[in-house]
A = this chain, B = another copy of it.
């Protein structure tokens, strides 16, 4: 009686972990949650009452015109030429994934994506029946030849997260972006660049978006205010090639008419008044310090048990365990006995991976709890080994 796509809705394991990790007595490395003290506090009382009154009525499906202008201006400054007419305001960037799935996927069509990649993208593309083809990258594999091979599947979409990737933290260089863009241009497939972590750059600014190097093939680029302002506002945006925009707009209208106008107003204020930049200047040192604290604690407790790279941005360390390990069982033991939450790496792969991985978020817990949690993780790994 239910649609067959419902059979493809994957298990609620991840939701279960995140729900358990929300308990205050748990040291959580599991989610992608901003630190509580890094959440942007909107000045509700300072909002113009006339603008609030207007924001209570139905609004345009595209989003507020002034916010679309701000987003386009910001993207141009980051090296992506675009206009406000190409910007669609989203109810968080997860919605962009749903809209792109509707735009392009039919059962049996191929989607090419990094392996590992953002797990909720895997879930959404699977729901619509895509065959997922993983592109190994960034961990020493020859990414260019992997891309050539994967394009042979004739994908309807290539989903990429080139900047401080979730879960690996990897960031493609400008030269890699150019080479990949040239290959993708020849393929003619739609390129979907998901870029929620760009502004969380701790060492150097990220290179311009990959889609900025495309000359022919249609593309969609999306960003989010969840990681740099506050996820509870549920606000993101996409920018689409002019050919794709009208379809995405109609899909947005059919999905929920338009995005929350109060959130749009609050984010517009943050952009117009320079509050976003001041907020970023405040949270970047905090996140950099936590990243460095996690790096130090990893070296202290997990040397010889796992390998990792120092992420130059984003919110995660990606650990490859030295010895194969049932990371699901490890996760359960850690959560139940030690009150530490980690995310098993297997959730991020389209197909079973050869090695055992863990994703560790460094933004949510403070340095002391990071060290305590990693010591407990190391103890479990020693026991397992």
CB neighbours (8 Å) of A15 from chain B are 61, 253
Q: Which of B33, B95, B190 contacts A57 (CB under 8 A)? A: B33
Of residues 65 through 94 on chain A, the ones whose CB sits less than 8 Å from some CB of chain B are: 91-92, 94
Interface string of A216-259 (1 = CB under 8 A from B): 00000000001000111110000000000011001101111111
CB neighbours (8 Å) of A5 from chain B are 102, 106
User: Once the chains bind, are A106 and B4 in contact (CB under 8 Å)?
Assistant: yes
Q: How far is it, in angstroms, between the C-alpha of A167 and the C-alpha of B262 when the chains are bound?
A: 29
Q: Which of A120-128, A197-205, A286-294, A334-342 contacts B (4 or more CB under 8 A)?
A: A120-128
Q: A3-B106, A91-B234, A260-B233 given as contacts; is B57 within 8 A of A41 (CB)?
A: no
Q: Which of A44-52, A141-149, A175-183, A270-278 contacts B (4 or more CB under 8 A)?
A: A44-52
Determine the residue in chain B with the shortest Cβ distance to A95.
B256
Q: Which of B4, B9, B231, B258 contacts A251 (CB under 8 A)? A: B9
- What distance in Å separates the Cβ of A328 from its nearest Cβ neighbour in chain B? 19
CB neighbours (8 Å) of A42 from chain B are 52, 56
User: Once the chains bind, are A250 and B106 in contact (CB under 8 Å)?
Assistant: no
Q: How far is it, in angstroms, between the C-alpha of A262 and the C-alpha of B105 when the chains are bound?
A: 33
CB neighbours (8 Å) of A246 from chain B are 12
Q: Which of B103, B127, B226 contacts A254 (CB under 8 A)? A: B127
- What distance in Å separates the Cβ of A217 from its nearest Cβ neighbour in chain B? 10
Determine the residue in chain B with the shortest Cβ distance to A190.
B1
Count chain B CB atoms within 10 A of each CB in A44, A188, A254 and give the residue with the most: A254
- What distance in Å separates the Cβ of A40 from its nearest Cβ neighbour in chain B? 7
Is A281 located at the chain interface by the 8 A CB criterion? no
Q: How far is it, in angstroms, between the C-alpha of A226 and the C-alpha of B256 when the chains are bound?
A: 12
Is A36 located at the chain interface by the 8 A CB criterion? yes
Is A185 located at the chain interface by the 8 A CB criterion? no
User: Once the chains bind, are B254 and A9 in contact (CB under 8 Å)?
Assistant: yes
Q: A44-B44, A45-B44, A102-B5 given as contacts; is B56 within 8 A of A230 (CB)?
A: yes
CB neighbours (8 Å) of A330 from chain B are none
Determine the residue in chain B with the shortest Cβ distance to A55.
B232
CB neighbours (8 Å) of A190 from chain B are 1
Number of A interface residues at 8 Å Cβ cutoff, please give it. 70
User: Once the chains bind, are B257 and A234 in contact (CB under 8 Å)?
Assistant: yes
Copies in the complex: 2
- What distance in Å separates the Cβ of A92 from its nearest Cβ neighbour in chain B? 5
CB neighbours (8 Å) of A259 from chain B are 234
Count chain B CB atoms within 10 A of each CB in A3, A12, A40, A106 and give the residue with the most: A3
User: Once the chains bind, are B234 and A260 in contact (CB under 8 Å)?
Assistant: yes
Q: A33-B58, A105-B3 given as contacts; is B53 within 8 A of A92 (CB)?
A: no
Q: A6-B103, A52-B44, A256-B98 given as contacts; is B230 within 8 A of A57 (CB)?
A: yes
* A-B residue pairs in contact (CB < 8 Å), sample of 16: A1-B104, A9-B247, A9-B250, A9-B254, A44-B45, A44-B47, A56-B230, A56-B233, A58-B232, A91-B260, A92-B256, A98-B254, A233-B261, A234-B258, A234-B259, A260-B263
Shortest 10 CB-CB contacts between residues of A and residues of B:
A56-B230, A232-B261, A45-B45, A44-B44, A39-B56, A56-B232, A58-B231, A260-B260, A95-B256, A9-B250
Question: Which residues of A are interface residues toward B (Cβ below 8 A)?
Answer: 1-6, 9, 12, 15, 19, 31, 33-34, 36, 39-42, 44-45, 47, 52-53, 55-61, 91-92, 94-95, 98, 102-106, 109, 120, 123-124, 127, 156, 188, 190, 226, 230-234, 246-247, 250-251, 253-263, 266
